[in-house]
Amino acid sequence: MDIGTAQGDLVVQIALAHPHLTAVGFDLPEVAPIFEDYVKHNGLDGRLGFCAGSFFTDAFPSADVITMGRILHDWDLETKRMLIAKAYDALPRGGALIVYEAIIDDDRSQNAFGLLMSLNMLIETEGGFDYAAADCMGWMAEAGFTQSRVEHLVGPDSMVVGIK
């Protein structure tokens, strides 16, 4: 389940790389036609679905793995915690939440892009900010996740994985 999926590129790329998996994109109802066209263009309309909803007001559908890419940095701390808690509630025991974006290194000295992105979020949003891996792992622990880890991806991006 990809929360805030937009056109669905993450679930499409995962499905193309792993033919045995199915996935669902979760986003606002008006995004559905864009998602469905992109999925069909990639020949995956039988394996990927769309679930309409707002991550502010609706519960997340149940899933074994939930992803949030470049979602949390848009919001204030209270909203970040609420979204992580919703993911926790939607996962089974042993399920995973994967959060990825320009995660700032814990001592805030290495990822200049992440720091600049945080400044950008502070300017462009009401309360949004980027954060360090330790911050995200702490919010996951507060929500009930029993394990978490950070893994560097490519360039300035990293992911934090929390296990319920």
| Active site residue ranges | 73
Count how many residues are written for the chain: 164
| Residue labelled with tokens 């995200």 | 136
**CB-side neighbour CA atoms (13 Å) of 119:** 6
Type and span of the H or E element at 160: strand 158-163
Give 116's contacts (C-beta < 8 A, 6+ positions apart): none
CA 141 to centroid of chain Cα atoms: 17
CB 13 within 8 A of CB 50: no
- Between CA 23 and CA 79 the distance in angstroms is 25
